Amino acid sequence: MYTPLEHQVMELKQQHRDALLAVECGYKYRFFGEDAEIAAKELNITCHLDHNFMTCSIPTHRLFVHVRRLVSHGHKVGVVKQTETSALKASGSNRNALFSRQLSALYTKSTLVGEDVNPVCRVADLEEGACADVVSDPPDSFLLCISESWDKLKKHLSMGVVAVQPSTGDVFLDCFPDGPSRSELESRILKINPVEVLVPSDLSEQTSKLLLSIANARFTSAPMTSPRGRP
């Protein structure tokens, strides 16, 4: 029989199957099930059985350190926060009910932006070494979005790219014609050197092959869907 918290976690996991969920539980963030086993292995922490699921936990104040480590290993991490405070709950009519929780952020290699992963360190903390685990973002951590359009009558291929660096707000936009080898697209990707790429589900086979070949050499990319009837 599942506990109320386990039911809540299962509902959240149904909505975010592709992410490791760090769930706020008091002064800790907990991982459950397969997420816990993966997090424990990547973070080198203990994983144990609690009721019906394997679980592991990290202190609230160390969340940003562990999120960055998980993301650096290629995982998408979702942070689930309590939407009620203990004081507010104690004074309400539902004081004995489960804390309400919801996803507050999703982090990938290109989106490590936010209070959870970019905490503000005080001068005193720096002097005491409390921020020793702070890892600065790489200077060029671009998220690249690609689109393409094929004109059957003119037999003309147009490519579009948008590169965004969330931490600085820098944006690069370009639209250009390209050929069967996708040489123009390749040159732009190699110049931008993105850490993550977003592609449409109907991306052409040639473009998919190019991205996969670059991904194998340079970065990890999500699986791409092979299209039909495209150049």
Domain boundaries, the chain: 4-128, 143-217
Look at the alpha carbons of 107, 109, 114, 116 in this order and tell me if their dihedral is positive or negative.
positive
Amino acid letter, 212: L
Asked if residue 58 has pLDDT above 60, the reply is yes
Residue 80, both tokens: 């689930």
CATH number of 143-217: 3.30.420.110
Range in 33-42, 81-90, 104-113 with the lowest mean pLDDT: 81-90
C-alpha distances out from residue 40 to 20, 59, 120, Å: 11, 14, 27
Mean per-residue pLDDT, 176-196: 92
CA gap 132, 94 in Å, rounded: 41
Whole-model pTM over 0.95: no
Each residue of 184-199: b (16+ CB within 10 Å) or e? bbbebbeebebbbbbb
Which among 96, 113, 97, 95 has a CA at the least distance from the CA of 105? 113
Q: How confident is the model at residue 18 (pLDDT cuts 50, 70, 90)?
A: very high
Pick the CATH number of 4-128 from 3.40.1170.10, 3.40.50.12780, 1.10.3720.10, 3.10.105.10: 3.40.1170.10
| Residue pointed to by tokens 């350190």 | 65
CB 161, CB 173: distance < 8 Å: yes
